[in-house]
A and B are shown apart, each in its own frame.
Chain A
Amino acid sequence: MKPIVGILALQGDFDAHAAAVNAAGGNAVEVRNSAELQVVDALIIPGGESTTMLKLIGIENLTEPLAIFGKTKPIFGTCAGAILLAKEVTHPVQFSFNLMDITVERNAYGRQVDSTIAQLSGGDLKGPLAGLELEAVFIRAPIIRRTGTPVKVLATYNGDPVLVQQGLHMAATFHPELASFNPVHKLFIEGLKPSASKAS
């Protein structure tokens, strides 16, 4: 059975994530309310504008359902999604779900003219990604400025962590869903299969 992966579709590149999930062996469904959240095995919070997502999460009373979901089910956040998963957000300070022990600085590389695509390989990639290659698309990206002890760093770029894992959850400051080759969604979806529990 393919795992059902919800994509939080309030705003952002949720259709790119849905395509990446389906290509990696999951079954993607869009999630816009708490009823839709209840039926998924895992959730992806996509890239987009974190302030817009937070606004809609507040208006639609999704704060509590998302916090409860994150206690028992895996969430993968990319860019804006990583910002929402963090313990602490700076530049500016804003609400976040505190599901991962990281401090994230928004728009830390600068504006759109500073956005870039980087090829990560060798020493940039660790753990399950070691030996692979990864194309990291950074769009007005944040930087993870601090990682707590329970956080595993799976990829770095210029020495900064760009893909991290803590327990069930994963966060990327780049956009694997926009990459032309992408092992990251596969990693997340493999982790959802029952047989994967012994590997972690």
Chain B
Amino acid sequence: MLTNQEFRVKVGLAEMLKGGVIMDVTNAEQARIAQEAGACAVMALERVPSDIRRDGGVARMAPISKIREIMKEVSIPVMAKARIGHFMEARILESLGVDFIDESEVLTPADEEHHIAKRDFKVPFVCGARNLGEALRRIAEGAAMIRTKGEAGSGNIVEAVRHMRTIIKEMKQLTVLGKEELVHEAKKLQAPLELVEYCAQHGKLPVPNFSAGGIATPADAALVMQLGAQAVFVGSGIFKSNDPEMRARAVVKAATYYNDPQKLLEASEELGIGMPGLDISKIAEGELMQTRGW
């Protein structure tokens, strides 16, 4: 599966996004600002996660007219979200010609047992994960990119950190195991042996591993990059701050210079006020987005 040509073309686009920032946008104007600030892609959605959290109700795929308007506005790749398991939203987005689909826990799940069978699509998919087993199940279904789930719309990096550390640690542990032990690990991880063996051999996922869910500052972006993320998604963090343009530029700079404290200091100066943050323990369990999907 990993050497299949169609799959390699999908992973190829994910490779191109490394070292970059993918920004949530809800209209053409925001998409233009994101591109102008140096975003490597934009994610088209109807409401940013913090608004979804505030308003409640059912969150669905963005209106087609909005996505089309964003695709017309920018030359960088445009992603859009489909609900977990909603393969017909995904088919519609594929027909529209979006460059990547995020099968996302930020939207209200359409199926509580099944994720989309993503190998059947020509368009690549990104999916969220909290641990290695979840990441490998999504890759087995055809995801060409993994991102941490974090806790979207919280402005709190703690969950993204937990998920990235967990995935990286679980991969490191595989690298010291023997063949028969990997079979047992595959059973525990509920993931295909082929993918478990790949991680054991290479110490990394067979697809790019990005971070999302709570990144609000340049320092947050640099932190998850240090922990092993190869690029970052910023949702509410940009357009819920009081100066989106400046913050967008600052996070872009941080994703490139995550290893250079002087540049990170420059990026962090004169940032203004960030989005308000939420204490995860104050979010009712039923309102957590990261527990959607399995």
Contacts and interface: CB of A to CB of B under 8 A. Distances in A.
Contacts of B39: 52
A48 B18 contact: yes
Interface stretch (B92-100, B132-140, B221-229, B277-285): B92-100
Interface stretch (A12-20, A37-45, A122-130): A12-20
Nearest to B259: A32
Contacts of A116: 9
Given A11-B40, A15-B18, A111-B99, A56 B253 contact: yes
Contacts of A48: 16-20, 40
Interface string B74-109: 011100000000000000001001111000000000
A10 B41 CA distance: 15
Nearest to A53: B38
A55 interface: yes
B189 to A, nearest CB: 25
Interface in B237-266: 249, 252-253, 255-257, 260
Contacts, number: 108
A16 B16 CA distance: 10
Given A56-B253, A92-B75, A115 B19 contact: no
A52 B38 contact: yes
Contacts of B17: 48-49
A141 to B, nearest CB: 10
Interface residues of A, number: 36
Chain B interface size, as a band, is 35 or more
Contacts of B94: 113
Given A49-B76, A52-B76, A107-B75, A139 B40 contact: no
Contacts of B35: 51
B16, B76, B94, B253 pick with most chain A CB within 10 angstroms = B16
A92 B32 CA distance: 13
A117 B8 contact: yes
B38 A137 contact: no
Contacts of A61: none
- Which 3 residue pairs spanning A and B have beta carbons closest together? A55-B38, A112-B99, A13-B15
Given A11-B40, A112-B100, A137-B12, 6 more contacts: A10-B19, A12-B20, A47-B16, A111-B97, A112-B98, A137-B9
